[in-house]
Structure 1
């Protein structure tokens, strides 16, 4: 007998670094409310433009992968990491070894500056279900945003029935 595995996806667009703290606090309060409305047994995944540069500092090792595009974490990155840690989640978009051009999710209009500010965050228990996250530079959509590609494996839960034979 197999059981159904259900996921709750929360798509978000966080305020930029330049916005005031009250706006950022309001965003994360609303994100927390959305997270709280998800059934507890669901696999919870946050996707979106968090405008957060997540660095490779060792202190965040349990929450953040080792392969971020950025060396240091921005203010918005600290907020995202704090949210993830408070909810026992991990930032999986920084957990895969890729060339830097496949990590960047934002490109400046002059095409010189690249940032990894779009992220995929998942419950730590189900982190291994995300097989890969990378940017796809192929589609020319005349934008500074670069599309992300996520490979996800929905695991099946099997329950074995023990039958006693006489």
Structure 2
């Protein structure tokens, strides 16, 4: 499994800086082998909203808030790399979906996301934010429970007993010596 932890540009960054960030992130994601499970997690500073009718192959029916500029970038990245926003696929209270509270308006937003490959959605058992985690930050921790089935990478070969064809040996002393050696090694 490949895990990418990111911190996206805030809304104060220029459009060019945001475009460059998401372009570089897309290149990194596309270099991860397709056979690897992939999770891109972090503070994207993006609200992807709840418009699952238009983005149904990327976000689930349990999104929150409205789309912002960084959210549009995230959705386009997901479409390009066949990713989904796993946070939006699980029901729960709005409090279990949001991760950051705006200091002035007091509104809660879902800025921290977990993106995974669309083909691996069945491996995500649950995703939610954890407000009780003490992480010394103004963001809530986002947790996803995954069910992974690791594949065997190495096969251990059992050492077989040495096999020698001693029947056709002409010298009986040499044959007896090999037979004794074989019995000692295998015994």
Query: So what's the TM-score if we normalise by structure 1?
Result: 0.84
CA distance in 2, matches of 1:130, 1:64: 14
Secondary structure of residue in 2 paired with 1:93: helix
Q: 2:19 maps to which residue?
A: 25
Q: 1:11 maps to which residue?
A: 5
- Tell me if structure 1 keeps the 8 A contact 2:26–2:81: no
Q: 2:42 maps to which residue?
A: 48
1:77 is aligned, of 50, 54, 71, to 71
Secondary structure of residue in 2 paired with 1:81: helix
2:147 is aligned, of 126, 141, 153, to 153
| Alignment length (residue pairs) | 151
Between Structure 1 and Structure 2, the one with more strand by share is 1
Deviation at 1:128? 1.4
**Structure 2, unpaired ranges of 5+:** 153-187
1:106-117 paired onto structure 2 within 5 Å: 106-109=100-103, 112-117=106-111
Deviation at 1:141? 4.2
CA distance in 2, matches of 1:12, 1:86: 18
Q: 1:161 maps to which residue?
A: none
2:57 is aligned, of 50, 56, 62, to 62
**Structure 1, unpaired ranges of 5+:** 1-6, 159-166
1:79-98 paired onto structure 2 within 5 Å: 79-98=73-92
User: Which protein, 1 or 2, shows the higher relative CO under an 8 Å CA cutoff with sep ≥ 6?
Assistant: 1
- Tell me if structure 1 keeps the 8 A contact 2:126–2:144: yes
CA RMSD in angstroms comes to 1.8
Query: So what's the TM-score if we normalise by structure 2?
Result: 0.75
Of structures 1 and 2, the larger Rg is shown by 2
1:14-71 CA distance string (max 9 Å, x none): 101221111101111221222133122101111111111111111011111111121x
